[in-house]
Amino acid sequence: MKVAIFPGCIAATEQYACELSTREVLRELGVEVVEVPGFSCCGWPLQNVGTVGWVYLAARNMALAAEKGVPLITLCNVCNRMFYEAKFLLTTNSELREKISSLLKEEGRGPLDGVEILHPLELFHDRIGVEEIKKRIKKPLKGLKLAAHTGCQAIRPRKLRSIDDPEYPKKLPSLIEALGAQSPHYPEALDCCGAYLFYTRKDASLTLAGEKVEAVQNWGFDGLVTVCSSGHRMLDGRQDAAATTIGKALNLPVVYYTQLLGLAMGLAPEKLGLQLNRSPVKNLLEKIG
């Protein structure tokens, strides 16, 4: 199997562990990564100011991947939704489609359609499969209880595409359990990380992140598992700031699913970028041994 990786702004410019661990585990699983130079932002920030600008950005990125003819894996839930939303608008609105096509030609790009967008959960759960992943485990994560954070933008709205159940997502928990750990449901599983409030209401954004981490901590989980670079930046990268905002002590290890999978497959923590996590992942690594 061959895929291309769409990092999105946050993984491309800051959350390096996300791309690093994804590349490592894909290599280990025999999935070839095709390089696509020239990707930009998916378009999300521009959705606040106009329609043509953001759809153009989403379309130009999809066109770049379409030239290579391989599925595109998104490392951020928001990028994933933007691509699907752009596809929807381009198929339902011929005027917009014409505008975007001619803009793409100006930048020397095309074709518009035909790229398959894959969320990491779809790649690991539906394509590679839980059984196949179980076979690759060298170091089962026995005795660990880990909370799954699937994230809002991956599962809603169901009408756009259905990666998982929008009210009771089960794929990430089952992928965590495939590694030998437990991942029971918890009441705050659907709570938002606050990522996109950060640019308009910083305090509320950090409060959301802090309350999410605090809830997971209070239920006695050993850590929190993410599949989105935007969400991870809030829950791991900004955990200290969130703790200050809500006035509570937070010390919950937060890891990407690809980091956890890599560890269970016996890969070294540095190869998976665990030295880059801001939350106390040491506590978790010690338990894994």
Partner 1 sequence: MVGITDQLRATKPQPDLVDRFYKVVEKLKLENPFHCYQCFKCTSGCTSFRLTEIMPHSFVNFVRLGFVEDMMRSELLWACCQCLKCKERCPQDVAPVDVIFLLRRMTVSSGAEIPEDLSKIIMNVTETGFIQGIQKVKVGETSVDREQLGLPPITLPNLEKFSSVLMKAMEEQIE
Binding stretches for partner 1 (CB under 8 A): 7, 9-10, 12-14, 16, 19-20, 23, 35, 37-41, 45-53, 56-57, 89, 92-93, 95-96, 99-100, 103, 106-108, 152-153, 156-159, 166-167, 190-192, 194-202, 204-205, 207-208, 273, 275-276
Measured in residues, the chain has a length of 289
Q: Kindly tell me which of 29 and 246 has the beta carbon lying closer to partner 1.
A: 246
Q: Kindly tell me which of 2 and 127 has the beta carbon lying closer to partner 1.
A: 2
Element (H, E) at 63: helix 52-66
Q: Kindly tell me which of 107 and 132 has the beta carbon lying closer to partner 1.
A: 107
224 contacts: CB under 8 Å, gap ≥ 6:
146, 147, 149, 213, 216, 235, 252, 253, 254, 255
Q: Tell me the closest approach of the beta carbon of residue 278 to partner 1, in angstroms.
A: 9
Asked whether 137 and 175 are in contact (CB, 8 A), the reply is no
Q: Tell me the closest approach of the beta carbon of residue 129 to partner 1, in angstroms.
A: 27
Q: What is the DSSP letter of 31?
A: P
Q: Kindly tell me which of 41 and 227 has the beta carbon lying closer to partner 1.
A: 41
Q: Kindly tell me which of 102 and 138 has the beta carbon lying closer to partner 1.
A: 102
Q: Report d(CA 235, CA 252) in Å as an integer.
A: 9
267 contacts: CB under 8 Å, gap ≥ 6:
24, 25, 28
Q: Which of these, 21, 9, 74, 41, lies nearest to 276 by C-alpha position?
A: 21
User: Which residue matches tokens 């209401």?
Assistant: 201
Q: Kindly tell me which of 42 and 133 has the beta carbon lying closer to partner 1.
A: 42
Element (H, E) at 20: helix 16-28
CB-facing half-sphere around the CA of 41: CA atoms within 13 A: 10
Q: Tell me the closest approach of the beta carbon of residue 158 to partner 1, in angstroms.
A: 6
The two three-digit tokens of residue 284, written as one number:
């978790």
The two three-digit tokens of residue 205, written as one number:
């954004």
Q: Name the burial class of residue 106, with classes exposed (0-12), middle (13-18) and buried (19+) by CB atoms within 10 angstroms of its CB.
A: exposed
Q: Kindly tell me which of 177 and 240 has the beta carbon lying closer to partner 1.
A: 240
Q: Report d(CA 159, CA 166) in Å as an integer.
A: 10
Q: Tell me the closest approach of the beta carbon of residue 19 to partner 1, in angstroms.
A: 6
Q: Kindly tell me which of 95 and 131 has the beta carbon lying closer to partner 1.
A: 95
